[in-house]
Amino acid sequence: MSGSESMVGSEPAPLLDVRDLGVAFDSEGGAVHAVNGVSYTLREGETLGIVGESGSGKSVHVLAMLGLIPRPPGRITGGQVLFEGRDLLAFPERELRKVRGGRIGFVFQDPMSSLNPGMTVAAQIAEPLRIHLGLDGRAARLRARELLDLVRIPDAAARLDQYPHEFSGGQRQRVMIAMGLSCRPKLLIADEATTALDVTVQAEIIALVQDLKREIGMAIIWITHDLGVVAGIADTVQVMYAGRILERGPVDDIFADPRSAYTLGLLRSLPDLSRGRAGRKRLHQIEGAPPDMRDPPPGDPFAARNVYATPRCRLEPPPLAQASSAAPGHLVAAWYDLPALLAAERAAPGAVP
């Protein structure tokens, strides 16, 4: 039945290999365990969408990779982050600075605070080009103009000497993307890069990033609290909760066949525009709140909010494991069998919680 199994052994080494990463913040009330044993890989050119509610450790885990956790109060409690085979966590700061904005580009939320309001756009785009590529002023300016063209800012030449406040919110985010891509990174990390924008502009930015990906071919980690956003951009989706990965799989599998009750909750809270009237369900929010990460529960962190939780869920953390033999890339951390529970629900409505 599955002829693809024999190909598994010939896969190339991943671009990024995160192994058992842990991050904590010391506070007066005890250590906040923000990231707890996160492991995953990213292939060259792959787009990974990372989703989860606010506070699930999405930002902290990428900040840790880039050496941007404030220490103290933050500390890496364990793990490795192999990028092109070398552990970023073991890099001296001087080396990391070369990687940040060089081989790894990043775009964070809120370009108004990330862009310097007192510097022209040309000067800001030129900065990483000088630091990482050693371009002189003239060459950097030329490249800055190319980059503004690349992110489809009209009349780029005339806009180089303008300041951030002269650009719209969407254009400022395009400038940030231009900066993130300026050194032709192998990996672009975007953290809530479109969250502050309205839905139309958000869609434009996502379409732009997809075009750029085709042109440049970098891998992308796209972080958002909105599962709807990743539908249009990701190859693989990873769902985080309480500093753990609860589910990971090809984007179509995650949407069509979720295995974690948390993923199901996120899906049910999305307005379903793609399936038309017949497929539209009533929206509901996931009841309850995430656990206190100073004192995380011993079992499945989502158990307290999960109507499908079993006694085992409250006692023992489930490992992230293959969801079914039919879908090798689909992983879930759950002791319960969500598809079976949903099927039972459909067969006898009301009989299962």
Q: Which residues bind ligand ADP (CB under 6 A)?
A: 25, 32, 34, 52, 54-60, 70, 73-74, 293
Distance CA 49, CA 98 (A): 25
Question: Which of ligand ADP, Mg ion, none binds 182 (CB below 5-8 Å, type-dependent)?
Answer: none
For Mg ion, the closer of residues 59 and 173 by Cβ is: 59
Please provide the DSSP assignment of 243-259 as one string: TEEEEEEEHHHHHHS--
For ligand ADP, the closer of residues 108 and 335 by Cβ is: 108
Angle at 264 between CA 37 and CA 342, to 5 degrees: 120
Which candidate, 80, 61, 74, places its Cα nearest to that of 31?
A: 74
For ligand ADP, the closer of residues 60 and 320 by Cβ is: 60
Residue whose pair of structure tokens reads 């900065």 in the numeric block: 127
Question: Which of ligand ADP, Mg ion, none binds 293 (CB below 5-8 Å, type-dependent)?
Answer: ligand ADP
Q: How far is the CB of 192 from Mg ion (least distance, A)?
A: 6
Token pair, residue 114, equals 């990330």
For ligand ADP, the closer of residues 49 and 128 by Cβ is: 49
Question: Which of ligand ADP, Mg ion, none binds 219 (CB below 5-8 Å, type-dependent)?
Answer: none
Q: How far is the CB of 167 from ligand ADP (least distance, A)?
A: 26
Residues that bind Mg ion (CB under 5 A): 59
For ligand ADP, the closer of residues 25 and 255 by Cβ is: 25
Sheet-wide strand order for 74-83: 32-42, 16-25, 74-83, 86-87
Q: How far is the CB of 19 from ligand ADP (least distance, A)?
A: 19
Angle at 165 between CA 204 and CA 162, to 5 degrees: 95
The residue with its CB nearest to Mg ion is 59
Task: Indicate the SS3 state at residue 298.
Answer: coil
